[in-house]
Structure 1
């Protein structure tokens, strides 16, 4: 299932602000966020069963987030959606990642998914089932779950929107403070939408908060390795700042060589 909120280009010093809850089978193993080798460097968690990831950031400031998408019938995917997300994180920009996604969907079959691609220049949502639809991210709050971006009929998406817009989130500190409480909202009753899900062996298994700033030193990455109403967010910001600083240095070096 999963729920992903991106406040896009509303705060000048942090154009990408993210809050995400991941739902999965509770016995499916995963690793906490770490820097992945290769270029560009990527910071993400790893799905130890099928490989790949559900969410991450690369050294160029590209954010990629994945949610499962509800489909009328099974699509019998041939390749893990998490592996696709990792492939997209190896791209240099959101537009390159969008091109890569189109190429992948043309040659491989995947189960239904929604993908968010965003950097400081452009942001996109891909709704992928039997066919693909691309929607540009709006300036402001964008929320996606198992249906379309900002779906008015998705109760969980609308609950998240209502709770995240009770006050003006005009700084990364405010956004992350409010989002950490909203996404840790415990279930309130059967049949009612909630931010944290507990449904037997399928539940909210982790949560992530990210702020991608104009300067690497302002970047924030916090991760809860369980449902956030029971597990604290731990700080992984030094790793994010490290890869973003590396990316900035490499970009400056290329610019000097090119001149």
Structure 2
């Protein structure tokens, strides 16, 4: 599943603030966040099975995160969606990452996805179900999951018939999360991230999932600071309800446009 919460150009101290859960098979191997890419160009965890990632921050301040997109029929993708995230983290800007995705999809197909791309200049939601839809995000709070989300203040959900009941639960969770994460007066980006982190760990909101073979595997929070040295990355290698998010070391000046 996965739930992404993004505050974009909402707080002066954090042009981009993202908190997200990752839901995955419990036995799928993963590596913790580290410097990766050519010339250590981004920080991200790594899917040890396919080699890509689901979330990351680039040296140039681009934040990338993906969820799968539930469809009525699974697609036979040519390539892992996590490798597409890796490609985007190598781009110089969110706008350049969008263009990279467009070029990639001319030659290859993927299983369905929702891809969030953001830096201090622009932010986008890319939705793919065999066709690509691009939405430029407005300043504010956005919540994205497997059946859509609350984007630019509008609830946009597409629930496939084969997952009607569980999909309705996912849509309800996203709506309630979006309603609870409206910025408070005089709130900072760091304060909002604290609230988002606590909410994604709260089972009342339905984002932290537990099962025998599948559930919430990790939690990530990313802040792109307004000045060099202000960006931050934290990661919990386990469900956020029981696993503290630990800071990940960033090089000086990393993560600012």
TM-score (structure 2 length as normaliser): 0.88
Task: For residue 252 of structure 2, give the secondary structure of its aligned residue in structure 1.
Answer: helix
Match of 2:192 in 1: 175
Match of 2:143 in 1: 143
Match of 1:42 in 2: 42
Q: Aligned partners of 1:182, 1:166: CA distance in 2, in Å? A: 14
8 Å CA contact 1:6–1:143 kept in 2: the answer is yes
Confirm whether residue 242 of structure 1 aligns to residue 252 of structure 2: yes
For residues 135-184 of structure 1, give each alpha carbon's deviation from its aligned partner in whole angstroms, at most 9, with x where no partner exists: 01121101100123413551121121122228447312211221121011
RMSD over aligned Cα atoms: 1.8
Q: Aligned partners of 1:202, 1:138: CA distance in 2, in Å? A: 34
Q: Which structure 2 residue ranges, 5 or more long, are not aligned?
A: 158-170
Match of 1:64 in 2: 64
Match of 1:24 in 2: 24
Q: Aligned partners of 2:56, 2:216: CA distance in 1, in Å? A: 18
Task: For residue 217 of structure 1, give the secondary structure of its aligned residue in structure 2.
Answer: coil
* Residue range with higher mean Cα deviation, 36-45 or 52-61: 36-45
Match of 1:257 in 2: none
Q: Aligned partners of 1:112, 1:27: CA distance in 2, in Å? A: 22
Q: Aligned partners of 1:78, 1:31: CA distance in 2, in Å? A: 23
Q: Aligned partners of 2:193, 2:213: CA distance in 1, in Å? A: 29
Correspondences of 1:1-259 after superposition (within 5 Å): 1-39=1-39, 41-150=41-150, 151=155, 153=157, 154-165=171-182, 167-168=184-185, 170-186=187-203, 188=204, 194-236=206-248, 238-239=249-250, 241-242=251-252, 244=254
For residues 98-125 of structure 1, give each alpha carbon's deviation from its aligned partner in whole angstroms, at most 9, with x where no partner exists: 0000111111111000101111111100
For residue 208 of structure 1, report the CA deviation from its aligned partner. 0.7
For residue 218 of structure 1, report the CA deviation from its aligned partner. 1.3
For residue 219 of structure 1, report the CA deviation from its aligned partner. 1.2
Q: 1:169 to 1:143 in 2, by over 3 A?
A: farther
Q: 1:98 to 1:234 in 2, by over 3 A?
A: same
Q: Which structure 1 residue ranges, 5 or more long, are not aligned?
A: 249-259
Q: Aligned partners of 1:9, 1:184: CA distance in 2, in Å? A: 24
Q: Runs ≥4 in structure 1, deviation > 4 angstroms?
A: none
Q: Aligned partners of 1:169, 1:244: CA distance in 2, in Å? A: 27
8 Å CA contact 1:42–1:243 kept in 2: the answer is no
Task: For residue 183 of structure 1, give the secondary structure of its aligned residue in structure 2.
Answer: helix
In the alignment of these two chains, the number of paired residues is 240
Task: For residue 101 of structure 1, give the secondary structure of its aligned residue in structure 2.
Answer: helix
Task: For residue 198 of structure 1, give the secondary structure of its aligned residue in structure 2.
Answer: coil
